[in-house]
Amino acid sequence: MNRPATVTTLQAAALVAGSIIGVGVLPLPRVATLAADTGGPLVTGVAVLAAWLALWLITKLGTLFPQQSIFQYSEILLGRWLAAIGTLLLICFFAFLASLAAREFGEVVVTAVLRKTPLEMTVLAMLLLAAIAARNDVRTFSYIHMFYLPFILAPGILIIALSLKNAVSLNLLPLWGNDATALSVTHGILTIASLFQVAFVVTIVIPHMKQPQKALKASSWGVVIAGGLYVAIVLATIAVFGSEETRLLIWPTLELAKTTSLPANILERLDAAFLAIWVTAVFTTLLSTYYLTIHAISQLFRLKDHRLLTYFVLPFIFWMAMLPQSVLQLYQIVELVGRIGLCITFGYPIILLLVWLLRRRGVSSS
């Protein structure tokens, strides 16, 4: 690969954080409280740690092959055909993830603000936005994440800060939750950890980094930023609503935004404004997923230019986005796909790493 290395460590960290923070924030406190009611923040924290571990592994693998993306070095490690199966699995998974993210946010928009707009329009608008942006090169891709990260973090932090007015610290106790079962906690950890899967995009960015060896630092920072925001949002939501109320809300974070208002009565309600700004967060996540899909396909078929593909893939992703029948079914699928995805995004790199270790041992012994 003789492309210029342009992505700085800071941009890579922003890219990881921006990719992770997405539409998953909206139902997050519900998932966390369902797992271990007041232990939700703790569960989220553990999930962040687990996600960081997985990402650390993936990034480590990437730094072993600093010149290639995962789709390229998997061919070296596994051979062309086995690697093609792995890549194909990743393509299907991320394409599906993109469609689910677009659908999920489309549902939120149609339910919360644009009640008369057809769901198809809001989903298609998001997908088109991602498809147009996915035509850019990796450099612009990382610039986009870098540029929007402040606009993603600022409203999140603002909502958390403003909700402190209504927070009751007693709601957070006991910290480890009431009668949480091991099954529900594991379930919750896996579901929350699956929100971090888009960080997988770091594997295609590493070959474009100025200092690929700093990728570990970048992805760690990305997870710390995103994970910090996640834990804080779960904390704030439970502190305001209490765990019993939180588990009844579809999108507790949006409800949190509803309860807050700016001082001096500038805006009476914040939910619509928050949702509008949250378009940015969803866009960056969707862009990463979309970009990963396009990139994988173009490397699988050895295409020089990924631009044409972006529009070609769009109808398929749109079709998949319209598959779930309702919001409830959507969330069942999201959880299911998330957990299957963990096997792919976490299991596949582990296999690659093992093969690498075996091969290296083979080389050194012979």
Residues that bind other proteins (CB under 8 A): 8, 10-11, 109, 113-114, 117, 121-122, 125-126, 129, 132-133, 136, 140, 143-144, 146-148, 265-269, 272-273, 275-277, 279-280, 283
CB of 155 to other proteins, least distance (A): 11
CB of 107 to other proteins, least distance (A): 13
CB of 144 to other proteins, least distance (A): 5
Q: What distances in angstroms separate CA 131 from CA 200, 306, 310, 312, 313, one per listed residue?
A: 19, 11, 5, 10, 9
Asked whether 241 and 33 are in contact (CB, 8 A), the reply is no
CB of 319 to other proteins, least distance (A): 21
Can you tell me the distance from the alpha carbon of 285 to that of 19, in angstroms, rounded to the nearest whole number? 4
Residue where the block lists tokens 């299957």: 340
DSSP for 279-305, please give it: HHHHHHHHHHHHHHHHHHHHHHTT-S-
Asked whether 344 and 90 are in contact (CB, 8 A), the reply is yes
Distance of CA 42 to the CA centre of its chain: 20
CA atoms lying within 13 Å on the CB side of residue 21: 33
CB of 75 to other proteins, least distance (A): 30
Can you tell me the distance from the alpha carbon of 98 to that of 121, in angstroms, rounded to the nearest whole number? 16
CB of 139 to other proteins, least distance (A): 8
Residue 74 CB-density burial (10 A; 0-12 exposed, 13-18 middle, 19+ buried): buried
| Choice between 148 and 356, CB closer to other proteins | 148
CB of 133 to other proteins, least distance (A): 5
| Choice between 196 and 278, CB closer to other proteins | 278
| Choice between 279 and 340, CB closer to other proteins | 279
Asked whether 140 and 306 are in contact (CB, 8 A), the reply is no
Residue where the block lists tokens 């079962």: 181
Asked, as a colleague might, if the bond just before 118 is cis with ω within 30 of 0, I would say no
| Choice between 35 and 317, CB closer to other proteins | 317
Distance of CA 139 to the CA centre of its chain: 20
| Choice between 283 and 318, CB closer to other proteins | 283
Tokens of 113: 């603000």
CB of 291 to other proteins, least distance (A): 12
Torsion from C-alpha of 35, 39, 40, 46, nearest 10 degrees:
-90
CB of 255 to other proteins, least distance (A): 15
Asked whether 220 and 49 are in contact (CB, 8 A), the reply is no
CB of 289 to other proteins, least distance (A): 16
| Choice between 249 and 275, CB closer to other proteins | 275
| Choice between 84 and 125, CB closer to other proteins | 125
| Choice between 44 and 122, CB closer to other proteins | 122
User: What sections of 21-137 are H helices per DSSP?
Assistant: 28-36, 40-64, 70-78, 80-112, 119-133
| Choice between 149 and 226, CB closer to other proteins | 149
User: What sections of 113-167 are H helices per DSSP?
Assistant: 119-133, 138-163
| Choice between 128 and 327, CB closer to other proteins | 128
Residue 307, amino acid: R
